[in-house]
Amino acid sequence: MLEARAVTCVRGERKLFSKVNFQVFTGECLHIRGENGVGKTSLLRLLTGLSMPESGEICSGGRSIKSEAEAFHNKLLFLGHRDALKEDLTALENLRMYAAIDGVELSNADAFIALRRFGLKGREDLPVNCLSAGQKKRVLMARMLTRHAQIWILDEPFNALDVHAAQELKELIVEHLTLNGLVVLTSHQHLDISNLKVLDL
């Protein structure tokens, strides 16, 4: 379970939101909605532990994520609205690099399978700076698959995806939920996903 307990966020002199409460359990997806500037990305950063709330607490499994930061981050995948890929590395090298950082065993064969699942066959060895925005998103989808994290926190993951890729991402999220994963995401799109909760900021 991932939980927000009376969380308040302040940026500069502006209070973005106050006393936000929610619980998300394994097998569930929380869709955070709101206009630009209301604090959706700021809330995601609080959920990952990258930022601290003005007041309140973020908990995982009933315990503060601050008290067990390493254990929490070992089961977390956070993808921000920027792709965070190394432009001079290939798609394959990016996957292998992040696997090494995350302490996940990933063979070349499994990395190729993941990239090809998301339509990157023949582009595995191209530098990322040669890929389109949509293809970069597909590299990130391959990372979601190979990271083996239980908690996914995703900032606008459907941006820059065509209709086919968006459907693939939706199927990947549903697959993750059926395997007792947990997803929190922001999106301006309507999401047709079972076990979906909505939080409007």
Q: Under 8 Å CB-to-CB from 55, ≥6 apart: which residues?
A: 6, 7, 8
Q: Residues 62, 113: one domain? A: no
Under a CB-based contact definition with an 8 Å cutoff, are residues 73 and 2 in contact? no
Q: Which of 101, 94, 41, 38 is nearest to 73 (CA)?
A: 101
Domain boundary among 126, 149, 172: 149
Q: What is the pTM of this model?
A: 0.93
Domain span including residue 25: 1-75+152-201
Q: Are residues 132 and 164 in the same domain?
A: no
**Mean pLDDT by 10-residue block, N- to C-terminus, for the chain (201 residues)?**
96 93 97 94 96 96 92 93 88 96 93 95 95 93 94 93 92 96 94 94 93
Query: In Å, how far are 31, 54, 177, 191 from 194, measured between CA atoms?
Result: 12, 33, 9, 9
Q: pLDDT at position 81, please?
A: 75
**pLDDT single digits (tens) 125-167:** 999 999 998 899 999 999 999 999 999 999 999 988 889 999 9
- Give the total number of structural domains in the chain: 2
The tens digit of pLDDT for each residue in 95-111 reads: 999 999 989 999 999 99
